[in-house]
Amino acid sequence: MSAEASDERTPPEGIRLPETEEWILANTAGLEAPLSWTRLTGGTSNLTYAIEDARGRRAVVRRPPTGKLLPKAHDMEREYKILVGVAPAGVPVAKPIALCSDRDVTGAPFYVMEFCEGISLSSPMGPYRDMPAALRPRIGASMVEAIAALHALEPDDIGLSDLGRPDAYVARQLNRWYDSFQRSHEAAQIDLPQIGEAFEILSARIPEQGPARVCHGDYASHNLLISEETGEVVAITDWEIGTLGDPLADFAYFVLLWNQQPVASPEAFLDKSPGEGYPSRGELIALYEQSTGQKLDDLWYYVAFNCFKACCILQGVYARFRGGVRGTQGLDLDLMRQGLEARAAATRQAIGWL
C-alpha cells in the first residue's frame, strides 16, 4: 500500500493520514513509502509511534494526547528544542530529525526522531528482576552517568539558556505542580489533604540553589531505554517537562523512584535497591556526588519535595485517564488510585524526616 492510499487504513489515534505521512516523507531524509505505524506502549502521556518504511528503516513520531489539555502541557516544540540542544553534547538521547509546527497537518505540533533500540525497566521489582545479574551494577551506574552528563552541561553552551528561569527552581516547581494538582482534583475525584500540607511546609524550607542546569524533570527508569546487551542507557526519553533548574532536585527524583517500595526510616531508604545486584540508593548518591562534585547535603528536603512532585504528576495522569482524555484499555484504575494514595502517604512520611 502506498502513502497515497493510506486514507483507506484506520488512522492511528491523533494522526491524520495521509497528510502526516506526506509531511514526514517530504521533510525527512531516507524514509520511503509505504509507512507502517505501531503505537509504543509504556507511557501514559504523549502519543508516541514507531514508523517503519518500505526498506525496514524506522523512526519515531511523537505528538500530544488528544482531548482537553492543561495550559502549557505537552509542548512538542519545546521538547524538540531540548533534544536539539543536548543530542550533540554527548547525552544519550534519540537524535531529533524534523519538527512540524503546522497544526493543519495532524491537529497538533509533532516531531520525528530516530528510533533507539532498548528496553524500559518501567516496573519496580518487575522487569528489573529479569535483567542478567552481571548487568545489574552497570545499569544503575549508567543511569547515574547519563544524568550526571546532562547536569554537567552549561545551558549557554548548548543553546538552552532561554529554556526557563535559571533561579528559584524548587519554588517554581512547587507552585507549578500544586497548581496542576488543584486543576486535576475535580477530574481525579480523590481527597489528598497531605499534599496541601506538604506544599506549605516545603515552600517555607527551600534550600539555596546552585548554578542552574538543564533538568529532565521526570528522570526515572520508565523514561530510560536500556541496552539488553550492555546495560547502558541508550536514550533518555520524554522531555516534555524539561527546564532549567536545580540539578540536585532532578537527581533526587531519580533516587526516590529507584525503588518504590515503602520504607520505615531514612536508613532503610538509603539501603533500598530494586533487587539483588542493583546498587542501593546510597550507592547511587555516592556515585553522583563523585561524578559531579555536588553534595546532597539537603537530601531529605529533596526527597520530600520529589514525593510531593511525584504525587502531583500521578494525580494528573490518573485524572486524564479517569476523565477519558486517554483510553483505559489494559489499565487498572483502582490500582493506579491505590498507588496515588500510597504516594501521598509517602509524602507525609518524608516531610517528617526533614
Cell of 340: 496515588
Asked whether the beta carbons of 238 and 218 are under 8 A apart, the reply is: yes
Q: What pLDDT was estimated at residue 325? A: 59
How much is the pTM? 0.87
Q: What pLDDT was estimated at residue 121? A: 81
Cell of 195: 499534599
CA-CA distance, 105 to 48, in Å (whole number)? Answer: 16
CA-CA distance, 298 to 288, in Å (whole number)? Answer: 14
Give the angle 122-125-126 at the CA atoms, nearest 5°. Answer: 60
- Is 121 part of a structural domain of the chain? no
- Is 50 part of a structural domain of the chain? yes
Contacts (Cβ under 8 Å, ≥6 apart) of 208: none
How long is the chain? 354
Q: What pLDDT was estimated at residue 88? A: 96
Verify that 223 and 81 share a domain, yes or no.
Answer: no
Q: What pLDDT was estimated at residue 336? A: 87
- Is 296 part of a structural domain of the chain? yes
Cell of 337: 488510585
Structurally, how many domains does the chain consist of? 2
Asked whether the beta carbons of 98 and 111 are under 8 A apart, the reply is: yes
CA-CA distance, 114 to 60, in Å (whole number)? Answer: 6
The last residue of one of the domains, among 50, 81, 114, is 114
In Å, how far from its chain's centre is CA 171?
Answer: 20
**Distance (Å) of CA 178 to CA 140, 301, 303:** 31, 17, 16
CA-CA distance, 99 to 109, in Å (whole number)? Answer: 8
Q: What pLDDT was estimated at residue 6? A: 37
Crossing angle of helices 299-322 and 333-351, in 10° steps, is 160
Q: What pLDDT was estimated at residue 4? A: 37
* Ordered DSSP codes for 322-333: HTTSS--TT--H
What is the pLDDT tens value at each position of the chain, 354 positions in all?
A: 233 333 467 889 999 999 999 999 999 998 999 999 999 876 557 899 999 999 999 999 999 987 665 555 568 999 999 999 999 999 999 999 999 999 999 999 999 999 999 988 865 445 566 788 999 999 999 999 999 999 999 999 999 999 999 999 999 999 999 999 999 988 888 989 999 999 999 999 999 999 999 999 999 998 999 999 999 999 999 998 899 999 999 999 999 999 888 888 999 999 999 888 999 999 999 999 999 999 999 999 999 999 999 999 899 888 888 876 555 555 788 888 998 999 999 999 999 999
Amino acid letter, residue 64: P
- Of residues 168, 149, 167, 146, the one with CA closest to residue 158: 149
Verify that 106 and 218 share a domain, yes or no.
Answer: no
CA-CA distance, 126 to 119, in Å (whole number)? Answer: 13
CATH number, domain of 102, equals 3.30.200.20
- Is 165 part of a structural domain of the chain? yes
CB atoms within 10 A of CB 338: 11
Verify that 90 and 141 share a domain, yes or no.
Answer: no
Verify that 155 and 215 share a domain, yes or no.
Answer: yes
The last residue of one of the domains, among 89, 114, 139, is 114
CA-CA distance, 340 to 160, in Å (whole number)? Answer: 33
Sign of CA dihedral 255, 256, 258, 261: positive
CA-CA distance, 200 to 175, in Å (whole number)? Answer: 10
98 three-state secondary structure:
strand
Verify that 58 and 148 share a domain, yes or no.
Answer: no
The last residue of one of the domains, among 62, 81, 114, is 114
CATH number, domain of 273, equals 3.90.1200.10
Verify that 164 and 23 share a domain, yes or no.
Answer: no
Verify that 12 and 132 share a domain, yes or no.
Answer: no
Contacts (Cβ under 8 Å, ≥6 apart) of 170: 202, 206, 207, 209, 245, 246, 249, 305
Contacts (Cβ under 8 Å, ≥6 apart) of 34: 1, 2, 3, 6, 53, 54
Average pLDDT, the chain: 89
Asked whether the beta carbons of 303 and 349 are under 8 A apart, the reply is: no
Verify that 36 and 109 share a domain, yes or no.
Answer: yes
Q: What pLDDT was estimated at residue 2? A: 30
- DSSP annotation of 348 reads H
Q: Residues 114-146, buried b or exposed e (16+ Cβ, 10 A)?
A: eebebebbbebeeebeebeeebbebbbbbbbbb
Give the domain range for residue 17. 3-114
